[in-house]
């Protein structure tokens, strides 16, 4: 393809992005009391939010259902065509229905309206036409109207589906914030992969403990510290008193500096060369938070202490990376 053809493709992409961006920005004007009412309906639902839509709106509905479910609002997608042939049995009187249709007159969804009314459950709709049959039948209607689709024929759902998706995300996030949904709760909906590890893994899961902890007494010499660092292989040793209380830390970097300063390995006490203000954390800290501390302070290990400042473990940068925290 020549450069002119390439430019046409680039211009088309930019036009699409511009049109869809404008559609999303226009949604802000549609946010008002109806949106708040929709959020309250979702929050007051004791059952589940049943999200439905046909065609491209159905794909968007599926994503909104997944977002709601992963952010503290139990939800699932029901295909409107299948609902007319048995899947209405999945909907109970404690549920709420969220229906998507750009026209607001999608036959498969309109067919469900008498059944929804018979169950006497709230109906929230997202459409592009406030006068449509679906909008008029809804307890709450959210308008996601677009001036035109990004498709040059103004036919393929593009800007309209983007607007509906963003409106659904806005509902999910507003409800999340209103409920005070926490990162830990989010993690329980995402236990697998890197996200789950980042949100669930704690320092206690990856730290070395008991006899694996490198530690020496404050009156130990440099040669004693060198021996402990070499045997435990963590590049450092905690310095603790006879009661196990942390007094300081001595690293292989400290050792190199001591040698450069011609300190006597056999007679120099650690008390004179150790860092007596080491950074410490508790074993309940998230592993991801521990990694952040190491990165900010440019250190490769952290000492874990209990409430009495007694040493109970060590976590290293290498251990965190091996555990998949990044």
Model pLDDT for residues 127-146, shown as the tens digit of each residue: 999 999 999 999 999 999 88
Helix (H) or strand (E) holding 83: helix 80-83
pLDDT digits (tens, 9 = 90+) for 13-31: 999 999 999 999 999 988 9
Helix (H) or strand (E) holding 70: helix 56-70
Q: Which residue has the higher pLDDT, 249 or 196?
A: 249
Query: Is the pLDDT confidence value at 304 over 90?
Result: yes
Max intra-chain CA distance, the chain: 90
CATH number, span 203-322: 3.10.580.10
Return d(Cα 116, Cα 122) in angstroms, integer: 8
Domain layout of the chain by residue ranges: 3-181, 203-322
User: Span 252-271, mean pLDDT?
Assistant: 87
Query: Is the pLDDT confidence value at 4 over 90?
Result: no
User: Span 48-56, mean pLDDT?
Assistant: 96
| Portion of the chain with pLDDT greater than 90, in percent | 64
Query: Is the pLDDT confidence value at 192 over 80?
Result: no
What's the token pair of residue 26?
């226009």
Same CATH topology for 3-181 and 203-322?
no
Three-state secondary-structure class, residue 141? strand
Report CA-CA distances (Å) from 114 to 70, 89, 109, 139, 189.
30, 14, 10, 14, 34
pLDDT value at residue 149:
87
Query: Is the pLDDT confidence value at 277 over 80?
Result: yes
Q: What is the DSSP letter of 242?
A: T
What's the token pair of residue 86?
């048995």
Measured between its terminal Cα atoms, the distance across the chain in Å is 41
Q: What would the DSSP string read from start to end of 216-228?
A: E-TT-BHHHHHHH
pLDDT value at residue 141:
97
Find where tokens 């969220």 sit: 98
pLDDT value at residue 186:
64
Overall pTM > 0.75: no
Q: Which residue has the higher pLDDT, 324 or 218?
A: 218
pLDDT digits (tens, 9 = 90+) for 77-101: 999 988 877 777 889 999 999 999 9
Q: DSSP H helical segments within 98-221, as ranges?
A: 107-110, 113-119, 133-137, 159-179, 183-188, 193-200, 203-206
pLDDT value at residue 156:
78
User: Span 230-244, mean pLDDT?
Assistant: 92
Burial class (CB in 10 A: 0-12, 13-18, 19+), 37: middle
Nearest in space to 303 (alpha carbons), one of 242, 238, 215: 238
- Least confidently predicted of 92-106, 115-129, 173-187, 197-211: 173-187
According to CATH, the superfamily of the domain at 3-181 is Glucose-6-phosphate isomerase like protein; domain 1 (3.40.50.10490)
Return d(Cα 220, Cα 270) in angstroms, integer: 6
């Amino acid at each position: 393809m020549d450069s002119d053809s390439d430019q046409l493709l680039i211009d088309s992409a930019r036009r699409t992005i511009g049109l869809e961006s404008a559609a999303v920005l226009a949604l802000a004007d549609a946010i008002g009391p109806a949106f708040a009412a929709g959020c309250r309906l979702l929050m007051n639902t004791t059952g589940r939010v049943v999200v439905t839509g046909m065609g491209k709106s159905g794909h968007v509905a599926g994503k909104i259902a997944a977002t709601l479910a992963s952010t503290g609002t139990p939800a699932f997608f029901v295909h409107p065509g299948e609902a007319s042939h048995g899947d209405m049995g999945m909907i109970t009187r404690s549920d709420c229905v969220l229906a998507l249709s750009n026209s607001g007159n999608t036959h498969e969804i309109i067919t469900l309206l008498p059944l929804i009314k018979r169950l006497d459950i709230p109906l929230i709709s997202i459409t592009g036409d406030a006068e449509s049959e679906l909008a008029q039948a809804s307890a709450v209607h959210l308008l996601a109207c677009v001036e035109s689709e990004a498709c040059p024929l103004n036919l393929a759902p593009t800007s309209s589906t983007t607007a509906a998706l963003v409106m659904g995300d806005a509902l999910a996030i507003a409800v999340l914030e209103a409920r005070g949904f926490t990162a830990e709760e989010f993690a329980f909906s995402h236990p697998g992969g890197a996200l789950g590890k980042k949100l669930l893994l704690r320092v206690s899961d990856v730290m070395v403990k008991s006899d694996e902890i490198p530690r020496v007494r404050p009156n130990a010499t440099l040669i004693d510290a060198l021996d402990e660092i070499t045997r435990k292989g963590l590049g450092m040793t905690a310095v603790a008193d006879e009661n196990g209380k942390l007094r300081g830390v001595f690293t292989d970097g400290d050792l190199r500096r001591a040698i450069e300063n011609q300190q006597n390995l056999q007679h120099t006490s650690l008390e004179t060369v150790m860092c007596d203000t080491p950074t410490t954390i508790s074993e309940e800290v998230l592993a991801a938070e521990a990694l952040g501390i190491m990165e900010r302070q440019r250190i490769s290990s952290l000492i874990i202490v209990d409430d009495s400042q007694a040493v109970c473990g060590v976590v290293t940068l290498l251990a965190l990376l091996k555990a998949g925290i990044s």
